[in-house]
Amino acid sequence: MQTSSGIKDKVVVITGASSGIGEATALLLAERGAKLVLGARRSDRLKALADRIAAAGGEATYAPTDVKRRDDLSNLVKLACERYGKLDVLVNNAGVGPISPLDDLRVEEWEEMIDINIKGVLYGIAAALPIFRKQGFGHFVNTASTAGHKTVPNQSVYSGTKFAVRAISEGLRQEAGDKLRVTIISPGFVRTDFVEAVTNPELRAQLAESREKFAISPDAIARAIAFAIEQPADIDVNEIVVRPTAQG
Ligand SMILES: NC(=O)c1ccc[n+]([C@@H]2O[C@H](COP(=O)([O-])OP(=O)(O)OC[C@H]3O[C@@H](n4cnc5c(N)ncnc54)[C@H](OP(=O)(O)O)[C@@H]3O)[C@@H](O)[C@H]2O)c1
């Protein structure tokens, strides 16, 4: 068993594959010949996506997955190994961003962001790292954000979780040694359902308006992820920041 460059025949697990960036990434990688294992909570959407990939001649399977549950991530990774005999890439993409001013004290939403965006990524690492070590190859692709580079009002907690994803990913890269790769993907404003999770009505309206004005297609992020994956095994693309030209 060995890794190879390119995308064809790579086994790729994607969390948060039921919509937005995860869905676009699944479609692009499947088109390029990867074998996809899709995770998210909405299994009806995962089934529809897997069916769509199969109808186009691609290969995909899925399992209902809540990244807040460590066992769900272990099972998702196990499914990939059982079905395809190896795991080449884990895309830790699932994330939520119900942003709000701290004064709102939407503490449950703070906890949700920490549990999904930080602990979810850690559970993904815990599930895949031992497998990557045993195989002698493997690639983590962790979705951070431009909010993981710069904090602005109303985004303290979300931004904090994405700073954490970047710190954890960089630490992982340094510990990973000469066989495992770690890529951080930091999108700017992308046209997805992300905004719907915002419960503060003024902020949701503002974000929806900005999304209409300048957000970019999730395909742009999928292409960045594909670029990182398709490099030869001795090339580790450490971080890609992709944002709308019009984003300040
Ligand atoms: N859109 C942007 O402007 C933007 C910018 C920077 C970074 N990002 C990051 O990009 C990633 C994808 O977001 P998106 O923009 O594509 O938004 P999206 O369309 O809302 O997709 C979020 C995905 O995460 C999944 N998810 C949420 N909670 C989950 C949980 N507990 N367990 C498993 N899956 C869960 C959702 O699936 P289910 O609901 O079916 O579980 C969905 O598939 C996130 O990490 C986000 O922080 C987005």
How confident is the model at residue 1, as a pLDDT? 52
**Ordered mean pLDDT values, 10 residues apiece, the chain (248 residues):** 76 98 98 98 98 98 98 98 98 98 98 98 98 98 98 97 98 98 98 95 95 97 98 97 96
How confident is the model at residue 224, as a pLDDT? 98
Candidate from 189, 192, 206 with most ligand 1 atoms within 8 A of CB, to mutate: 192
Look at the pTM and tell me if it is higher than 0.95.
yes
How confident is the model at residue 248, as a pLDDT? 87
Under 8 Å CB-to-CB from 248, ≥6 apart: which residues? none
Candidate from 190, 203, 247 with most ligand 1 atoms within 8 A of CB, to mutate: 190
